[in-house]
Amino acid sequence: MNAPITRPATHQAPEYLVWQDVQGHEHRSIWHSESGAALPSRFQLADDTLTADSALRLAAAGVALIWQGDFQNAKLLMQAMGRRLAARAAKPKKTGKKPLPATSFPHAFHLHRQAIAQRAQILGRLLVPLNADYVIPLRRAPDIQAAVQQAWGPSSDATPPSPNAEHLLSLRELQGLIGAFEWRRQGVEIPALGSAPRNRIHPHYGVFSPIRGEYIDLVAQAPLPPLPTGADSLRAFDIGVGTGVLSALLVKRGVKHIIATDLDPRALACAAENLQRLGCADAVKLQAADLFPKSESGTAPSQAPLQADLIVCNPPWLPGKPSAPIEATVYDLNSQMLQGFLAQVKPHLSPGGEAWLILSDLAEHLGLRTRETLLGWIEAGGLQVLGRIDTPAKHPKAMDPQDPLHAARSAELTSLWRLGR
């Protein structure tokens, strides 16, 4: 059985924001931003008297608002700010202009991402304080201690060497913490894993949730490679294990020897917990590695590349720069992971083995990558396409004609590419 993997404490020196509350008490709060937002250089106190229009004007000008009023009113204020931003974004639609043709998608996509980033930046300037023990010192504030501890760790370990310091973060990020806590508590039902209750994956904070089932169904349906002569099971690698859902599915399909890799400590901890809960931990070894495992134990590298009969990889589907850590599961800068996998997988395949590449063609419909480019990378890696299984997109945005990228999303296919030497 694998030893449990825990997220190491963060030893980077924390940044502090010094400010005074309405009573004149000075606070020295540790700045938290999962998206990597810079420590605010301009800020002011805000309470229930602040209107949404004024809050939006200040936040758009780069002023952070440290909330001192009723917590529930802060939520209402952020919702009102969001509605005003949405109304502004919708105004060009009333000009009678025709939808952008497919050839304009690269430009439309980048504008869409830019608008989302600007919205997040503006709404992220509404800040809430936390005490050292993760209590919100505001009226009608919920109990969020368990949610914050789950994401950051115990308060005594969260920000060494200053365990008694207060904290400051955006209300938007705090809501994300609370939402992630609920996702982890309830779990995501994965029908391909079997019947309830042993068919749920519980994603951790910062680990992408397997809410899109298309790629999971593809792995459940694809024919497994033939069993090597004399072997009791296939040997498999799961590259980029995430929540552990694909490793668990392979175990359910009879694969007894799996090495699953990831660089994110949160993902490794999440996968360890899920695999243990699902009774799959004995079959899966987890390793911190960039793409392929270097050895059986994950310590000293082997003389020759480790090989597997089946290698599964579900890389980020869109080329682009992630604007936050969680986006690294969606955006792959310069397609580095995709290209790295295709360039390096051949020597890791045992004779007769298969590499399963799970990829959406949304990037092709958006004009961010061509099918010829992908096929060129496959060929350059010394690989051939043994087969491909496709499934249409089923997520809500693909069905929403009001989505600015609807024409691309509605045509999207998710594919499992069966690749061999």
Domain count, the chain: 2
Integer CA distances (angstroms), 102 to 53, 99, 147, 183, in order: 36, 9, 43, 36
Lowest mean pLDDT segment, chosen from 73-82, 329-338, 383-392, 395-404: 395-404
Do residue 251 and residue 155 come from a single domain? Answer: no
Do residue 268 and residue 412 come from a single domain? Answer: yes
Do residue 168 and residue 193 come from a single domain? Answer: no
pTM of the model: 0.88
Do residue 118 and residue 264 come from a single domain? Answer: no
Average pLDDT estimate for 397-421: 86
Do residue 150 and residue 295 come from a single domain? Answer: no
Whole-number Å distance between alpha carbons of 373 and 297: 36
Do residue 178 and residue 196 come from a single domain? Answer: no
Do residue 193 and residue 106 come from a single domain? Answer: no
Peptide bond into 197 cis (omega under 30): yes
Do residue 265 and residue 132 come from a single domain? Answer: no
Whole-number Å distance between alpha carbons of 154 and 163: 10
Does residue 9 lie within any of the structural domains?
no
Average pLDDT estimate for 91-100: 52
Whole-number Å distance between alpha carbons of 285 and 288: 10
Does residue 8 lie within any of the structural domains?
no
Do residue 126 and residue 234 come from a single domain? Answer: no
Q: Point out the domain boundary residue: 157, 183, 209.
A: 183
Q: What tens digit of pLDDT does each residue of 333-364 get? A: 889 999 999 999 999 999 999 999 999 999 99
Does residue 87 lie within any of the structural domains?
yes
- The residue with greater pLDDT, 293 or 158, is 293
- The domain of 296 spans 189-420
CATH for 318: 3.40.50.150
Q: Point out the domain boundary residue: 156, 183, 210.
A: 183
- Angle of CA points 210, 213, 218, to nearest 5°: 120
Do residue 144 and residue 216 come from a single domain? Answer: no
pLDDT at 383: 98
Lowest mean pLDDT segment, chosen from 186-190, 258-262, 320-324: 320-324
Q: What tens digit of pLDDT does each residue of 115-149 get? A: 888 999 999 999 999 999 999 999 999 999 999 99
Does residue 406 lie within any of the structural domains?
yes
Whole-number Å distance between alpha carbons of 41 and 43: 7
pLDDT at 133: 93
Do residue 294 and residue 165 come from a single domain? Answer: no
Q: Point out the domain boundary residue: 136, 156, 183.
A: 183
Do residue 224 and residue 359 come from a single domain? Answer: yes
